[in-house]
A = this chain, B = another copy of it.
Amino acid sequence: MKRTHYSKDIKPEMNGDTVVINGWVHEIRDFGGLAFLIVRDREGLMQVTMPKKKVPKEVVDKLKGLSRESVVSVTAAVKAEAKAPSGFELIPSCIEVLSLADSPLPLDPTGKVPAELDTRLDARFIDIRSPEVTAVFIIRSNMIKAVRDYLCSQGCLEIATPKIVATATEGGTALFPISYFEREAFLNQSPQLYKQMMMAAGMDRVYEIGPIFRAEEHATRKHLNEATSIDVELSFATHEDAMELLENTIAYVYQYVKDNCEKQLKLLNIDLQVPKTPFKRLKYKEAMDIIKNDPECAELDYGDDLTTQAENYLGQAIGEHYFIVDWPTGIRAFYSQSCDSDPSVCKAFDLMHPRMELSSGAQREHRHDELVMNLEARDLNPESFKFYLDAFRFGMPPHAGWGLGAERLLQTMLNLNNVREAVLFPRDRVRLTP
């Protein structure tokens, strides 16, 4: 029988209607004359109530041998029942077992037996069944949709750039090599160079949401070797324009999730606060002055990149989303443009959540000769970047953009302990399966 309703679509007002539900056996409670079957679908739980004298014998008999987490289809009458968790119960006229689950289960999807993250990830297909984990991925889908809707409303075209590339974006750091027929190639660590070339191509404002690959040997709660990057690049724009679009994107996404994922947020116990725009702009130098108050950051000097400890200290001091701007040129990527008034400072920015960095961006160097000098200053060979540099020789507009980590956005929004909880099948230093 074909499903007529998801759990969320059945209301007490449908008293007397016949419905067909599909789902997993979340729980069976048999009290002799009365049995309850709790059925779970993507949207929630439903209580199937079986007063054994009133329900056909062949339906009651289906309970025998029915294991937890088996898949069933239930045809039932809706009965308004104030005492039931959703205000209704279902009185079955037919139960069809579509897939019988083996036991014991590798994991308990009701969440009553807590499990380590590694155990959960090993049995991810069952772990996701837990309503709290399902909620995370329903929110992720909504979050990505909100990002797209907002960027599209701002005139950005969606693009797809190659993941297999011949050259490293930032010159050899941490790339996974591929055998590409008889040649060596690499997995792209960022769409950076390609989205910039799209500015030369006249695409004007573009975005891409796709996988990026970094062969870094991190083993932290905020790093992944395969992640999803939200990349934006804007022509005829400054880093200020890019920051404005970024903060507005974040605020839009929070509001969208708050409005559209009420049930999931409640399940996760999250009282989502939409961050107020504009976000605070903190100069790198000001940030360093704050960090100096932390004895554990005593060794950090002007010109150093921020350590995790420094990020945490700063985050606690600021307490909300903020930008760090006016970075020392030397510690930013070669494609950042330095300030005209003081070339030792550049037009790069980081968007920070109190817990961690979410995004990096900059006004880009769009002048060919200056870009070549930037490469040389970092001991990178302009010859290896010819395919990219050529795009700056025949009319390249000023442009700016950013890359935002989708998993970190979700992790910080939902206060997830580990970034791996924000990915269906994480890839890290040791994990390559499932």
Whether the pair B160, A211 counts as a contact (CB closer than 8 A) is yes
Closest CB in chain B relative to A245 CB, distance in Å:
14
Q: How far is the CA of A163 from the CA of B187 in the complex (A)?
A: 10
Question: Which chain A residues numbered 350 to 373 have a C-beta less than 8 Å away from chain B?
Answer: 366-367
**Which of the candidate stretches A87-95, A138-146, A250-258 sits at the interface with the other chain?**
A138-146
Question: Which chain A residues numbered 398 to 415 have a C-beta less than 8 Å away from chain B?
Answer: 398, 406
Whether the pair B98, A201 counts as a contact (CB closer than 8 A) is no
Whether the pair B394, A22 counts as a contact (CB closer than 8 A) is no
What is the size, in residues, of chain A's interface with B at 8 Å between Cβ atoms?
94
A144: B residues at CB distance < 8 A = 158
A152: B residues at CB distance < 8 A = 145
Tell which of B71, B427, B433 touches A395, judged by Cβ atoms closer than 8 Å. B71
Whether the pair B394, A101 counts as a contact (CB closer than 8 A) is yes
**Which of the candidate stretches A46-54, A78-86, A176-184, A339-347 sits at the interface with the other chain?**
A176-184
Counted per complex, copies of this chain come to 2
A388: B residues at CB distance < 8 A = 434
Tell which of B69, B73, B167 touches A394, judged by Cβ atoms closer than 8 Å. B69
Residue in B closest to A144 when the chains form the complex, CB atoms: B158
> Interface code A14-40, partner B: CB below 8 Å = 1, 0 otherwise?
000000001111000000000000001
Q: Say if the beta carbon of A425 comes within 8 Å of chain B.
A: yes
Whether the pair A185, B432 counts as a contact (CB closer than 8 A) is yes
Whether the pair B202, A128 counts as a contact (CB closer than 8 A) is yes
Q: Say if the beta carbon of A106 comes within 8 Å of chain B.
A: yes
Asked whether A203 and B128 contact (CB < 8 A) given A101-B395, A144-B158, A164-B176, the answer is yes
Whether the pair A178, B180 counts as a contact (CB closer than 8 A) is no
Closest CB in chain B relative to A193 CB, distance in Å:
9
A123: B residues at CB distance < 8 A = 390
A423: B residues at CB distance < 8 A = 160
Q: Say if the beta carbon of A297 comes within 8 Å of chain B.
A: no
A202, A398, A423 pick with most chain B CB within 10 angstroms: A202
Closest CB in chain B relative to A162 CB, distance in Å:
5
Closest CB in chain B relative to A407 CB, distance in Å:
9
Q: Say if the beta carbon of A288 comes within 8 Å of chain B.
A: no
Closest CB in chain B relative to A203 CB, distance in Å:
6
Q: What are the 7 A-B residue pairs with the smallest beta carbon separation, nearest first?
A: A128-B201, A387-B434, A101-B395, A125-B391, A42-B204, A141-B157, A125-B200
